[in-house]
Amino acid sequence: MQERADGPTASPGGSVESSVEAVFREEHGRLLASLVRRYGDLDLAEEVASEAIEAALVHWPVTGVPTRPGAWLLTTARRRAVDRLRRDRAYTARLAVLQAEAERGDPAAAPDADVDDLPDDRLQLFFTCAHPALPAEDRTALTLRCLGGLTTPEVARAFLVPSATMAQRIVRAKKKIRAARIPFRVPGADELPQRLPGVLQVLYSIFTEGYAASSGPDLQRVELAEEAIRLARILHRLLPREREVAGLLALMLLTHARRAARTGPDGELVLLEEQDRGRWDRAMVEEGCGLVRTALTGGVAGPYGLQAAIAALYDEAVDFAGTDWPQVVALYDVLLAVAPSPVVALNRAVAVAMRDGPAAGLALLDELADEPRLRGHLPYPAARAELLRRLGRHAEAATAYREALDLVGADPARAHLRRRLASVEPPGPGGDGSTAPG
Amino acid sequence: MKYMLLMYSPPMNDAGEVPEPCELEEWFQYDKEVQEAGIQVASHALQDLTTSTTVRVGEGGERVVTDGPFAETREVLGGYYVIDVPDLDVALDWAARCPGARGGGSVEVRPVSEEY
């Protein structure tokens, strides 16, 4: 048994198993990207990648995790690919063409390139998975599957859809990549400004799905949010000079830093103003603030950098009331100019309410009443209800809380709204079926 | 890989007129660029919708001929290119350069089947 197999952990077997797991999470995307680059075929790459991982599961517990696990996996996967291609003549013919193309396009992709160099080809895979020619929901699924290394059932669970539905979605996406020949390539400098937002959107939607689970008992699915952060870190490493990537990573970190304080002991939602700031992840806040500086330096900031800057103002305040509201409103003004949307206008109205009082905020919210994009958008009635409650307009607040309750998906948020509704309703036996004890 | 670029006009107005999304000059220029790039496999512009006739043959072999296009649509297929380029990104670039993609018009990009 090699040295690495028995570490300081109590059970040597368990230690190998958990380090094997960790290696796979980290290496899967890299491995797959190298294979896709080499063979130009996502299906083949996935098959031999999973075969290599299976082989590792057999060998590593016996021999220990190799010093260069990534190189071991890639070598094993390549051998499997060669076996497979020899067996399959149609593939062989295709492989010859693909390799000729790859070598013409990029000398570094020559078949004998040193396996130890392990170039990171994940950037190509990010852009392929988030290609605008794929339906938006497929982009997210494919990214989690190919770069996150999640299995199809795991991706299905992440989005609360049946496994079979997710499998169909992934098959459909892969078929289009193959049949329409969506390339594995990083867009040129001239295209990047058009294509990068699509990749960022995918990562952000994974994060928000984890942050505010749209339905189900858990308000936050921490693992999904953490996966989004892991992917954003990878993208930031690959594109260190893209300020919006830094901005997105910062936004995620500054939001995720509050995760422990965001749900109460019974799983209920705790609003920002009521959160125990001592439970915020200070290291994460600091890291996020550092990235905000990168995102805001050099020209007009992008929407993610600006949202991160707003999140940083919340995270750096001693308490909710002490937030630098004029600065928050000013940043929302810039955000509205850069990326106008009714949702941003809604958030700005809430910040104005904090700066100038609830009446001023409510007036702005009422201006947005006819926005089709806010119809059925939970934060709108929830914010109105809150401001009406602060103004003492209880009957109107109750109506707005009921509207919000009709829209809420995640159970803990429901509990919060119920409590608030109860606080503005007249005491005693209710006329609308509520049975509050005297 | 071969892709067909199907060029659709902007939606017809209520009088049934199809707005012209661009000048003829722009089409000539685009066509010249496609020729010079050496990617053109085929291309044709189609006559307007009033000249279109649709044929269906029923189960008993009876021929049904009707005036107009197959589907009720406000966008009119005005022409096509078949181009041979390395991948979808290049095909999408050529579609985006096409004058028919502007002014409310659109260009659909479909890979040509290689099986037949």
In a domain, residue B32? The reply is yes
Average pLDDT over residues A409-413: 68
Cβ–Cβ under 8 Å, residues B91 and B3:
yes
In a domain, residue B107? The reply is yes
Residue A148 sits at the vertex; the CA angle it makes with A261 and A108, to the nearest 5 degrees, is 135
Q: Using the predicted structure, report yes or no on whether residue A4 has a pLDDT greater than 50.
A: no
Cβ–Cβ under 8 Å, residues A26 and A147:
no
In a domain, residue A180? The reply is no
Residue A118: per-residue pLDDT:
58
| Residues contacting A193, CB < 8 A, separation 6+ | none
Helices (H), A115-212: 122-129, 136-146, 152-158, 163-179, 192-211
Confidence band for A413, pLDDT divided at 50, 70 and 90: confident
Query: What is the extent of the structural domain holding A85?
Result: 1-118
pLDDT in tens, A268-325: 778 888 899 999 999 999 999 999 999 999 888 999 999 999 999 999 999 998 999 9
pLDDT in tens, A379-402: 899 999 999 999 999 999 999 999
- DSSP letters for B47-73: --GGG-EEEEE-TTS-EEEEES-SS--
The answer to whether B111 contacts chain A (CB < 8 Å) is: yes
- Of A101, A179, A185, which has the smallest distance from its Cβ to B89's Cβ? A185
Cβ–Cβ under 8 Å, residues A124 and A7:
no
Least confident of A79-83, A228-232, A354-358, A408-412: A408-412
Comparison of pLDDT for A25 and A230, the residue scoring more: A230
Provide the 8-state DSSP code for A132: T
Cβ pair B88:A185 closer than 8 A: no
Distance CA A251, CA A335 (A): 14
Residue A112: per-residue pLDDT:
40
CATH number for the domain harbouring residue A392: 1.25.40
The answer to whether B1 contacts chain A (CB < 8 Å) is: yes
Residue A106: per-residue pLDDT:
47
Q: Domain ends where: A102, A118, A134?
A: A118
Residue A99: per-residue pLDDT:
60
Q: Which helix (H) or strand (E) holds B43?
A: strand B40-45
Cβ pair B87:A181 closer than 8 A: yes
Can you read off the two tokens belonging to residue B22?
Answer: 């661009």
Residue-wise burial string across A156-168, b where 16 or more C-beta atoms lie within 10 A, e elsewhere: bbbbeeeeeebee
User: In terms of C-beta density within 10 A (0-12 exposed, 13-18 middle, 19 or more buried), how is residue A51 classed?
Assistant: middle
Residue A219: per-residue pLDDT:
53
Cβ–Cβ under 8 Å, residues A47 and A84:
yes
In a domain, residue B30? The reply is yes
Residue A6: per-residue pLDDT:
36
Query: What is the extent of the structural domain holding B31?
Result: 2-111
pLDDT in tens, A80-113: 998 888 887 666 666 666 665 555 554 444 444 4
Cβ pair A180:B111 closer than 8 A: yes
Structural domain count of chain B: 1
| Residues contacting A122, CB < 8 A, separation 6+ | A29, A30, A33, A147, A234, A238
Q: Domain ends where: A98, A118, A138?
A: A118
Residue A109: per-residue pLDDT:
41
Average pLDDT over residues A359-363: 96
Residue A16: per-residue pLDDT:
59
In a domain, residue A139? The reply is no
Instruction: Give the count of Cβ contacts less than 8 A between chain A and B.
Output: 22
Q: Using the predicted structure, report yes or no on whether residue A207 has a pLDDT greater than 80.
A: yes
In a domain, residue A185? The reply is no
Give the minimum alpha-carbon distance from B28 to chain A in angstroms, rounded to a whole number: 26
Cβ pair B111:A181 closer than 8 A: yes
- Of A101, A181, A187, which has the smallest distance from its Cβ to B88's Cβ? A181
In a domain, residue B56? The reply is yes
Q: Using the predicted structure, report yes or no on whether residue A212 has a pLDDT greater than 90.
A: no
Can you read off the two tokens belonging to residue A435?
Answer: 């049975």
Q: Which residue spans within A239-320 are E strands per DSSP?
A: none
In a domain, residue A199? The reply is no
Residue A95: per-residue pLDDT:
63
The answer to whether A385 contacts chain B (CB < 8 Å) is: no
A47-106 residues touching B, CB cutoff 8 A:
101
Closest CA relative to residue A27, chosen from A111, A95, A121: A121
Confidence band for A417, pLDDT divided at 50, 70 and 90: confident
CATH number for the domain harbouring residue B31: 3.30.70.1060
Q: Residue written as tokens 């059932």? A: A153
Compare all CA atoms of chain B with the CA of A102 and give the residue at the minimum distance.
Answer: B86
Overall residue count recorded for chain B in this entry: 116
In a domain, residue B41? The reply is yes
In a domain, residue A405? The reply is yes
In a domain, residue A128? The reply is no
Closest CA relative to residue A121, chosen from A29, A211, A201: A29
Give the minimum alpha-carbon distance from B1 to chain A in angstroms, rounded to a whole number: 8
A127-146 residues touching B, CB cutoff 8 A:
131, 133
Give the minimum alpha-carbon distance from A138 to chain B in angstroms, rounded to a whole number: 17
In a domain, residue B116? The reply is no
Residue B99: per-residue pLDDT:
93
Distance CA A148, CA A228 (A): 8
- Of A101, A179, A187, which has the smallest distance from its Cβ to B111's Cβ? A179
Distance CA A143, CA B20 (A): 40
Average pLDDT of chain A, as a whole number: 84
Q: Using the predicted structure, report yes or no on whether residue A19 has a pLDDT greater than 60.
A: yes
Q: Using the predicted structure, report yes or no on whether residue B61 has a pLDDT greater than 70.
A: yes
Distance CA A82, CA A35 (A): 12
Confidence band for A64, pLDDT divided at 50, 70 and 90: confident
The answer to whether A179 contacts chain B (CB < 8 Å) is: yes
Provide the 8-state DSSP code for B81: E
Beta strands across the sheet bearing B106-111: B40-45, B77-84, B2-8, B106-111
The count of C-alpha atoms lying within 13 angstroms of the C-alpha of B36, restricted to the half-sphere facing its C-beta, is: 6
Report chain B's terminal Cα–Cα distance, integer Å: 14
Average pLDDT over residues A20-36: 83
Confidence band for A8, pLDDT divided at 50, 70 and 90: very low
Task: Tell me the whole-structure pTM to 2 decimals.
Answer: 0.81
In a domain, residue B48? The reply is yes
The answer to whether A183 contacts chain B (CB < 8 Å) is: yes
pLDDT in tens, A135-150: 999 999 999 999 988 8
Confidence band for A5, pLDDT divided at 50, 70 and 90: very low
Q: Using the predicted structure, report yes or no on whether residue A131 has a pLDDT greater than 60.
A: yes
Distance CA A285, CA A253 (A): 7
In a domain, residue B78? The reply is yes
Residue A315: per-residue pLDDT:
95
Distance CA A408, CA A382 (A): 10
Distance CA B2, CA A230 (A): 38
In a domain, residue A26? The reply is yes
Comparison of pLDDT for A2 and A137, the residue scoring more: A137
Residue A9: per-residue pLDDT:
35
pLDDT in tens, B31-54: 999 999 999 999 999 988 888 898
Provide the 8-state DSSP code for B112: P
Structural domain count of chain A: 2
Least confident of A32-46, A179-193, A423-437, B28-42: A423-437
Cβ pair B92:A185 closer than 8 A: no
Q: Domain ends where: A118, A148, A163?
A: A118
